Amino acid sequence: MKKIFVLTVAFIAGMAMTANAGSIAPGQMTKCNDAKSITLETAGNKNDASGKNGFTVNDRGGANLSIWKSSNFTTIPVSLGPNDSNDSLNGTDGGRTGLPQRGGMGKHKVTLTSQKSFSRGDSIGDISGLVKITNHGQNAVTVTCN
């Protein structure tokens, strides 16, 4: 009876650490199998600078993920930064450089789409087979497998 109890507790603990497609908290992992597309989205929380000496306590609302792909056994990092400005400085130089302004705010959502016939198996587009997404950031992330 004790063995069954221990196995049940271990199974429940394992399921608590592994979420299915949906919202994954920091430290959790989810899986997609043979998905046509995978959408990763952070809520885009506002920048919270209430930490010690004015530092942020929520990583500026961004998300840090790692994606492991069984198709070629590679891991790829992905960062979403909805509150990060990527504006180039040439937009504020009064036109002295003659270059157009580029950049903008970071994105809160990205969709990976399965593509066939890759000449290299290390591409992020090769999401065939099992794909594991792990949240390494401080904010929850919604994962949708289609």
| Residue-wise DSSP of the chain | -HHHHHHHHHHHHHHHHBPPSSEE-TT-EEEEES-SEEEEEE--PPP---SGGG--SSGGG-EEEEEEETTTTEEEEEEE-TT-B---GGGSSTTSS-PPP---BPPSEEEEE--S--SSTT-TT---SEEEEEE-SSS-EEEEE-
Q: pLDDT of the chain along its 146 residues, tens only?
A: 666 655 555 555 444 444 446 899 999 999 999 999 999 999 767 777 788 887 777 777 889 999 998 888 889 999 998 877 766 665 566 667 777 767 777 888 999 988 776 555 556 667 888 999 999 998 999 999 99
CA distance 40 to 133: 9
Cα 15 from chain centroid?
A: 20
pTM above 0.75, yes or no: no
Q: Any residues with CB less than 8 A from the CB of 132 and at least 6 apart, and which? A: 29, 30, 31, 67, 68
Q: Any residues with CB less than 8 A from the CB of 52 and at least 6 apart, and which? A: none
